[in-house]
Amino acid sequence: MRDKHRIAVVGARGHTGSELLTILNRHPDVEVVHAGSRELAGQPVPEIEGLAFENLGPIELAGLSSDAVFLALPDGVSEAFASAISAETTIVDISSDHRLDGGWVYGLPELFREKISGARRIANPGCYATVAQLAIAPFLDDIDGVPAVFGVSGYSGSGTTPSAKNDPERLRDNLMPYKLVGHNHERETTYHLDHQIRFMPHVHPAFRGLLVTAHIPVAEPTTAEAAVDKLRERYSAESLIEIRDQTPELRDGTGLTGVVLGGVDVSDDGHNIVVVGAEDNLLKGAAVQAVQNLNLALGHPELTGITQ
């Protein structure tokens, strides 16, 4: 019996970190040996019996012998940590810091699986960007114009640092638009699809769940049936993508391991396709996808630890 891969999670106290620890704890081929949280250092890790949080800064990380490290850190701070880790160690960066970095592999398995396999530096996609790309990708060769994506997410996507976007009282009976031009996920989706998109994000009062509606202009007129067929053909072998006839609602993404796409329709002139997608922003939008990437990088079956 071969040894398990040793895993460190930095930023383990956050919403994504907690989901990640839960998945890794049931993974038969890995063992979480370090969980980093400066604020909770010395306290027990709720998700893993016998493990305590540590203060894992770049200096501490440099001295570890882990096989892989997850960086579940706020945007803008992961580079110092990544630079301290040896080149032989696999890193999955869940922040946005390396998603546009050509030196890192972009970790959206359903679109870039071959590049992820065996990679040592992997940038985990953003939650909105995951669904937007999966909704638009099958139609890339048909697009004529700029797709527009309307997005709504639970406030857990805004992290644990207090702000208006994760204040339950501010969000009560409310819908909050923000960063309507130049959002990170707009740039990310545009970069990796190699096609300009426009994105309009909003926060809703529930803790988790994510929904996007993508309007996709196409050159040749089409039908809803043809558009559904194209989606089904593209994702027929993908276990974490479900194509439904019905229109997904936001609650359909909550607790979902993968992504559901549906509600496909076409404008009267046949030149605009609509696709609705739902996911859990903390699961396929973050932790589940991070473990997919780890499995591909380390040579495990892709869904190990993810599906029961």
Identify the active-site residue in 9, 30, 94, 127.
127
Count up the domains in the chain and report the number.
2
CATH of the domain at 111: 3.40.50.720
Contact 277, 248 (CB under 8 A): yes
| Residue 216 lies in domain | 127-281
CATH of the domain at 208: 3.30.360.10
What does the pLDDT read at residue 158?
A: 72
What does the pLDDT read at residue 139?
A: 98
What does the pLDDT read at residue 171?
A: 85
In a domain, 190, yes or no: yes
What does the pLDDT read at residue 155?
A: 86
What does the pLDDT read at residue 90?
A: 98
Average pLDDT, the chain: 95
Tell me: do 183 and 293 sit in the same domain: no
Contact 277, 261 (CB under 8 A): yes
What does the pLDDT read at residue 2?
A: 56
Q: CA-CA distance, 139 to 124, in Å (whole number)? A: 23
Tell me: do 151 and 267 sit in the same domain: yes
Q: CA-CA distance, 269 to 217, in Å (whole number)? A: 11
Tell me: do 118 and 12 sit in the same domain: yes
pTM reported for the whole predicted model: 0.95
Could you give the dihedral angle defined by the CA atoms of residues 100, 137, 197 and 268, in that order, rounded to the nearest 10 degrees? 180
pLDDT average, residue stretch 29-50: 95
Tell me: do 145 and 274 sit in the same domain: yes
Tell me: do 30 and 154 sit in the same domain: no
In the chain, % of residues over pLDDT 90: 87
Q: Is residue 231 over pLDDT 50?
A: yes
Contact 154, 19 (CB under 8 A): no
In a domain, 211, yes or no: yes
Whose tokens are 């027929």? That residue is: 236
Q: Is residue 282 over pLDDT 70?
A: yes
pLDDT average, residue stretch 224-245: 98
- Which amino acid does the sequence have at 264? V
Tell me: do 291 and 272 sit in the same domain: no
In a domain, 307, yes or no: no
Least confident of 2-11, 82-91, 160-169, 277-286: 160-169
67 among known catalytic residues: no
What does the pLDDT read at residue 82?
A: 97
Tell me: do 34 and 177 sit in the same domain: no
Tell me: do 270 and 143 sit in the same domain: yes
Q: How confident is the model at residue 1 (pLDDT cuts 50, 70, 90)?
A: very low
In a domain, 193, yes or no: yes
